[in-house]
Amino acid sequence: MNANHDESRARRPKETVHVGCASGFWGDSQIAIPQLLTAEKLDYIVFDYLAETTMSILQRARMRNPELGYATDFVSVLRPHLKTLLERGVRLVSNAGGLNPQACRDAILAFAREQGLSPRIAVVTGDDVAELHAEFTDAQGCRLPDLNGFGPLLSANAYLGAYPIVQALALDADIVITGRAVDSACALAVAIHEFDWVFSDYDRLAQASLAGHLIECGPQATGGLFTDWETVPDWANIGYPIVVLGPDGGFDLTKPPGTGGLVNRATVAEQLLYEIGDPAAYELPDVVCDLRQVSIRETGPDRVRVEGARGRAPSTRYKITATGHAGYQIGIMMAIRGQRARAKALRTAEELLRRTRKLLALNGLPDYTSTVVELLGAEAMYGGNARENDSREVILRIAASHAERKGLEFLQKESASAGTSMGPGTRSHFGGRSDIQAIIKTGSFYIAKQCVPVWLDCGDVHAEVIVPENGEEGPSFPPAAQQACASAPASPDGALRVPLARLAYARSGDKGDDSNIGVIARSEAYWPVLLRELTAERVREYFSHLVQGDVSRFELPGTGAVNFVLRRALGGGGSSSLRSDPLGKSYAQMLLDLEIPCPGEILQ
């Protein structure tokens, strides 16, 4: 089936493959491709655009215009660089297709023709499984033909794996565009294609999947969002990541020369823990990864070596992200200044909600589905952990949801009246009048892989991709090894209460309505302190004002880290949450303020 598109790209064994990442989300910077092209070696660039929240945004776009529904950024960032990329033989793999991969391909071909270029583009489809909703199951495998009260289904897309991309690369595609594919599949597919790995070589698959996971968010692996942000130089020119993959699965992570940012053990370890659950069972379509014994070793300036991931056979199902309509929401912000600003802002919110509830009742409409009042600048997200704050300037944020658009029009209009009828120093409609938006709820389900036909289009090839059978599940992993280290002294005479930030780095992320917080010890001496003091119960108590479910803790001895998963922690999560931080991005920063006992003699 190989079309021999370019004889200069004939298959030959490679000692290493250099893969850069130019996008971590839809809306990322335009500086990445020019940076990556300055690297001495560059074989591929991958682009990740699709988060769960992004799927709901794309669905909104497709509802307005059926020709949209893909990441338009991919088209705009390629336009000035496509000729250079093709001349250098740098191949591109991206999930920018979103809900409409063919339209994404057509948009690229349109501007390519204007430039006199003819890139060979492959499109992977089949992830759209909305018509198969009767086959959806929950985590336990129970059928959910009614989606368990999810609401009217707007879209449903399975997380496809690497194999269709491997087939596209075998057809000599210059650009591979997928719909919903797991973020790390782009890098994994490159490794499988270049090194001729078999799909049962699970340890290698796990390593390459980890490489993809580390770079999928762009500069988050090169100093972006780093706990010690003061140590990261030149944010304006922060370097985008490059992984140097080897045929044994080991890889180095670095960045282009002369760029800003920082690559070291800590920056990469933070990204390793980003948005994972149980590190012993990080489930992907092609492999289940065990990340507990991963090691990260600095081998030079802005360069680390990553090894130790293990793998086992994947499950026989795909995860699905589905979207459904769930009413409407609005978020209003206004500036409140002057004496007792906090109390004044709280009263303003109370009075506006009371007034508009009366108007709802007078017009025969039900009450709000939910409301959230936050005082930005007064540590509202910290709940009972907030410090005393008598600020003379806060931003009042009132968010509300309602089953009908009309039900939010009263709050949209009446909020302006606060500028003349409520507290002094109030600037209503801060940032302009707020829009009422449809709530596109996202949810996760599962479907058997055998129910999902996957298709590949490349040139004159239109064929179904036969995903390999999973075979036996493979041997189970042994129990997690116990860390052999002495217990830290617990004597009150030798213990000092210090902020967690003094002992650890941390990063948080989201999966639907759940959040995770990864915490990495700054030194080996602090690791037993984290194990003893930073328990799931203590974290649950600290976030009790935000978390409605339970909290689990998982250990990663190889990295000296613990990972916490906070269930039902985001007020619904994504676009269905009314909170100002619906993705839990601030949770790690909040946890770093927690004070825990630490023996004074080990403090550095």
Q: By C-alpha distance, which of 308, 174, 290 is closest to 250?
A: 308
| Residues 413, 411: Cα–Cα separation, whole Å | 5
In sequence order, which residues have a C-beta less than 8 Å from that of residue 253 and are 6 or more positions away? 211, 214, 215, 221, 241, 242, 243, 244, 263, 268, 303, 304, 306
Q: pLDDT, tens digit, for every residue of 279-307?
A: 999 999 999 999 999 999 999 999 999 99
CA nearest to 451, candidates 54, 156, 55: 156
Out of 38-47, 425-434, 453-462, 550-559, pick the least confident. Answer: 425-434
State pLDDT tens for residues 581-594: 999 999 999 999 99
- Mean pLDDT over the full length of the chain: 91
Highest mean predicted confidence (pLDDT) among 128-137, 389-398, 500-509: 500-509
∠ CA 307-309-312, nearest 5°, is 150
Please give the pLDDT value at position 153. 86
- Percent of the chain surpassing pLDDT 90: 79
DSSP H helices, 313-405, are 341-362
Encode pLDDT of 522-542 as tens digits: 999 999 999 999 999 999 999
CA distance 92 to 173: 9
Q: Please, which pLDDT band fits residue 13 given cuts at 50, 70 and 90?
A: low
Which residue has tokens 């999902």?
452
Phi, psi of 348 (to 5 degrees): -60, -45
Using one digit for the tens of pLDDT, what is the confidence trace for 181-231? 999 999 999 999 999 999 999 999 999 999 999 999 999 999 999 999 999
Q: Can you tell me the mean pLDDT for 467-490?
A: 46
Q: What is the pLDDT of residues 317-347, one digit of tens each?
A: 999 988 888 899 999 999 999 999 999 999 9
Beta-carbon contacts of 7 under 8 Å, excluding residues fewer than 6 positions away, are: none
Q: How many CB atoms lie within 10 A of CB 61?
A: 19
List, in sequence order, every residue forming a beta bridge with 563; answer none if it has no partner. Answer: 518, 554
Residue 55 has pLDDT above 90, yes or no: no
Asked whether residue 453 carries a pLDDT value surpassing 80, the answer given is yes
Whether the per-residue pLDDT at 176 is higher than 60: the answer is yes
For the segment 250-257, the average pLDDT, to the nearest whole number, is 98
In this predicted structure, the answer to whether residue 7 has a pLDDT above a threshold of 70 is no
